[in-house]
Amino acid sequence: MDFQPWQFYIVVGFLCLTAEIVTPSFFLAPIGVAALVTAGLSVFVTSLTVQFVVMALTALFLYFTLTPFARARFNRAPPPSGVGLVGQVGTLKEICISSEKPGKVFVYGDTWDVLWNDSDETYISVLRTLQPGCRIRIKQVVGNRVIIEPV
């Protein structure tokens, strides 16, 4: 059985595209696509030098044109105001009633329990005035609960 160049390029292309799935970079996908383009070209052009040059130029072109889009897609910005939840604005999701039912807030895509501190009467009186749907700000994070204030 005779091994043709287009078969080689198809194998290389699919191997690179498959390996791209498990690598954190965006380096192998342009090479894989360039190899598949070269496989189609190699049916008509028999010169291995021309095939190699076309594959290299196609891979470079794809890498430099697609990499900015890939980085913009996968490099997401951290929360807007620095580290953690402190200072983030969210919405009161569930009303604060007592230590058994301290309430829940929705902040930056997650739901958090409100800390109910019986020793701080002013804080408790503020919590009791808040209604579901009102805007709140995170003052402090204690474990997996948050201390909030109205915005």
Is 82 a member of any domain? no
Residues of 21-51 as b/e, b for ≥16 C-beta within 10 angstroms? eeeeebebbbbbbbbbbbbebbeeeeeeeeb
| Cα–Cα distance for residue pair 12/31, rounded to 1 Å | 9
Specify the pLDDT at position 77. Answer: 56
Q: pLDDT tens, position by position, for the chain (151 residues)? A: 687 888 999 999 999 999 988 887 778 899 999 999 999 999 899 899 999 999 999 999 998 888 777 776 666 555 444 357 788 888 888 877 777 777 888 887 788 888 877 777 888 788 788 888 889 888 888 877 888 888 8
Specify the pLDDT at position 82. Answer: 38
Considering the domain architecture, whether residues 98 and 66 belong to the same structural domain is answered as: no
Locate 138 and state its tokens.
Answer: 């995170």
**Of 24, 40, 74, which closes a domain?**
74
Considering the domain architecture, whether residues 15 and 70 belong to the same structural domain is answered as: yes
Specify the pLDDT at position 83. Answer: 54
Amino acid at site 65: T
Q: What letter does residue 52 receive in the DSSP assignment?
A: H
Considering the domain architecture, whether residues 15 and 57 belong to the same structural domain is answered as: yes
Residue among 128, 125, 127 at smallest CA distance from 139: 127
Scanning the chain, the segments in alpha helix (DSSP H) are: 5-22, 28-42, 48-74, 121-129
Considering the domain architecture, whether residues 95 and 146 belong to the same structural domain is answered as: yes
Specify the pLDDT at position 35. Answer: 95
Q: Are 38 and 9 in contact (CB under 8 A)?
A: yes
Specify the pLDDT at position 76. Answer: 59
Is 46 a member of any domain? yes
Considering the domain architecture, whether residues 64 and 106 belong to the same structural domain is answered as: no
Contact residues for 88 (Cβ-Cβ < 8 A; gap 6+): 79, 80, 81, 107, 108, 137, 138
Residue 120's CATH number = 2.40.50
The parent domain of residue 109 ranges over 89-150
Specify the pLDDT at position 116. Answer: 76
| Cα–Cα distance for residue pair 14/6, rounded to 1 Å | 12
Considering the domain architecture, whether residues 70 and 41 belong to the same structural domain is answered as: yes
